[in-house]
Amino acid sequence: MECDIFMNKQTRLILSACLIAISLVAPALSPPSRAAARAAGAKQSTPAASPSRPGADTSQPARDERLWKKALEIQRKAIIVDGHNDITEIMVDEGYDLGTSSVGLHHTDLQRFKQSGLTGEFFSVYVDRKYASTDFAAKNYTTQGGSARRAMDLIDVVYRAAEKYPKDIIMASSTADIRRAKREGKLAALMGIEGGHAIENSLSVLRDFYRLGVRYMTLTHNNTNEWADACCDDARHNGLSEFGKEVVREMNRLGMFVDISHISDKTMSDVLDVATAPVMASHSSARALSNHRRNIPDELLKRIAKNGGVVMVNFYPVFIDEKVRVADKERDERLKSRRDELRAQFKDDPKRLADELKKLNDANPLPVTLLSVIIDHIDHIAKVAGVDHVGIGSDFDGVPFLPQGMEDIAHLPNITYELLRRGYSERDILKILGGNFMRAFAEVERVAHTQTRTVSGEGSQRRLEPAKR
């Protein structure tokens, strides 16, 4: 989930409106041949998206059919894991059923999962900052608490989807589960918590989330919490506090990835000092290419490589495309007073507010980002950290718009095609699509096995008590 503003139901409506608008203006996609779809082992009646888009951006060459066929063959073979998908929140807040087509409304549904070729998807257990018991930066914002309960609601909805569609989805919490899903032709539903305030400052709660199958946690969202500094908020702990370091050690002991997306550079550095297992960035890109605080600078990319970790590239244009980042910032400043007026005017009518904000954005469009920019980030991380340390972390359904050629989850095969076009070998593409994640995950599991034979083990029961904050 990506937002500089506080995400709530109202802004969710705005995002949905944006998605509808984008889908209406998106160019038609020409499908691959039926033979190519069969070659990819696709079960779907509607074929996967192709990189060839008649009438769209003419700077992109026509599809090379030989390469496209090869891309689909690799898709069929690969274990493909996406680090981050926010459809979970929509499932909880809007009662959205994954089995229902949501083309033009959301980025994700069951049918398009099949077209994507994905083996494993991390369903984000995104806990908005409004559920944190303390929000240091939200000066005009009242926090309501209930982070752990919110996380439980999101976890429950993932289990319910797997129970409702047992032929298509299995719950997964290990490398063995992901491999089994691949063998059975099902989607492995993994879960990662987004926002460390979800554990409500208790290592016992962290262990409970592990027991429920959660296999990563971003230590913060955009908000600094009571033990870790965030990318996009005031620094209060100079990185990780002592308790924050204990959280990292306990996650390593349990076998839960420490996810460094959303935390500050200093917090990342502290994590890399403390961690005894590989870290992951579930949805982060390269700062050298676009100067956003959510991206990772080269010196940290090199340290992540030494740690054995994996950086899964985020697709959001505002993060990955410098010209869009600058234009978005400029637009936010330019439209701030008008947006504030609209929010005041329609504060009791979220639907109308969403419509008006969308109209305002439509009248002030941002530049278009091409799919190739995603590949530029993969390429950069492969060069700086090594091809063994990069993956994909889409952020589908957590962002309001996406690059041309990557409009939804069904477009994922385009990444394989573009990597082939740039001369990547099949071996390296298999690593990028999921092999690197699997290697890092296996090491996280191995470290945990060496440190404890039970989930509880000798784990600390420490928690931050309100009186001691």
Smallest separation (angstroms) from Zn ion to the CB of 231: 10
Q: How far is the CB of 282 from Zn ion (least distance, A)?
A: 8
Whether 394 and 356 have beta carbons less than 8 Å apart is answered as no
CA distance linking residue 164 with residue 428, whole number of Å: 36
Give the DSSP per-residue string, 57-121. -TTSPPP-HHHHHHHHHHHHH---EEEEE-HHHHHHHS---TTS--TTT-S--HHHHHHHT-SEE
Residue 83 CA neighbour count, 13 Å, CB half: 38
* Shortest CB 402 distance to Zn ion, Å: 14
- Check if the beta carbon of residue 288 is closer than 8 Å to that of residue 298: yes
Q: Which is nearer to Zn ion, 75 or 218 (CB)?
A: 218
Cα 243 to Cα 214, 237, 240, 250, distances in angstroms: 20, 10, 8, 10
Spatial distance between the Cα atoms of 98 and 90, rounded to a whole number of angstroms: 10
CA distances from 112 to 42, 140, 326, 364, 461 (A): 11, 40, 32, 31, 43
Touching Zn ion, residues 1-30 (CB under 5 A): 1-2
Catalytic residues: 84, 86, 194, 221, 262, 283, 395
Residue 454, burial from CB neighbour count under 10 angstroms (0-12, 13-18, 19+): exposed
List, in order, residues 6 or more apart from 385 with CB less than 8 Å away.
301, 302, 304, 305, 311
Q: Least Å distance between CB 268 and Zn ion? A: 15
91 binds Zn ion (CB under 5 A): no
CA atoms lying within 13 Å on the CB side of residue 281:
34
73 φ, ψ (degrees, to nearest 5): -65, -45
2 or 168: CB nearest Zn ion: 2
Please, which residue, 122 or 424, has the CB nearer to Zn ion?
122
Shortest spacing between CB 121 and Zn ion, in angstroms: 15
CB count within 10 Å of CB 22 equals: 17
Q: In this structure, what are the phi and psi dihedrals at residue 409, rounded to the nearest 5 degrees?
A: -65, -25
How far apart are CB 461 and Zn ion at their closest, in Å? 30
Cα–Cα distance for residue pair 404/325, rounded to 1 Å: 16
* Residue with the shortest CB distance to Zn ion: 1
CB of 124 to Zn ion, least distance (A): 7
Which one, 175 or 284, has the nearer CB to Zn ion? Answer: 284
Give the total of residues touching Zn ion (CB under 5 A): 2
* Position 469, amino acid: R
Type of residue at 5? I
The helix or strand, by DSSP H or E, that contains position 188, with its residue range, turns out to be: strand 187-194
**Nearest distance from residue 283's CB to Zn ion, in Å?**
6
Annotate 41-60 with b (16+ C-beta within 10 A) or e (fewer): ebeeeebbbbbbbeebeeeb
125 pairs with which residues across the strands? 193
d(CA 416, CA 431): 11
Taking the complex as a whole, the smallest distance from the CB of residue 317 to Zn ion amounts, in Å, to 15
Closer of 2 and 376 to Zn ion (Cβ): 2
Angle, helices 322-345/350-363, rounded to nearest 10 degrees = 140
**Which residues make up the interface to Zn ion (CB under 5 A)?**
1-2
